[in-house]
Amino acid sequence: QVRLVESGGESVQAGGSLTLSCTAATDRAFSSYVMGWFRQSRGKEREFVAAIKLSDEMTFYANSVTGRFTISRENGRNLVYLQMNHLKPEDTAVYYCAAKRMAGTYSDYGTYNYWGQGTQVTVSS
């Protein structure tokens, strides 16, 4: 059982920055999970953004956010961040934190077992 709560979404001007956080309550050791960030804008399917394998903190990014977004874990804590820099209007979406055991691909939302409620990020031009 994993319960996820994400926060930090708000409205920001294009070119600005935001940091999202995801707090996880887990029955098993946090390091046994992969944590991911996904986003979904209106009329589109859920899209992979970033993931971190907690056993070694290896990170993975969608091409659309590489170089702008950073996923990280606060050391020793069940807390994952998504730092977003140089935000663009096309980054506007509901952002979801997700978790799964270390298996399968990192970018397929269908392989994640647990999801947060989502937090809205709006980027204005």
* Residue type present at position 40: Q
- Reference 72, options 83, 85, 56, 63; nearest CA is 83
Q: What is the largest CA-CA distance in the chain?
A: 43
Is the model more confident about 31 or about 4? 4
pLDDT in tens, 78-88: 999 999 999 99
What is the dihedral sign for C-alpha 106, 86, 79, 115? negative
pLDDT category at 60 given cuts 50, 70, 90 is: very high
Predicted confidence band of residue 28 (pLDDT cuts 50, 70, 90)? confident
Burial class from Cβ neighbours inside 10 Å (0-12, 13-18, 19+) for residue 63 reads exposed
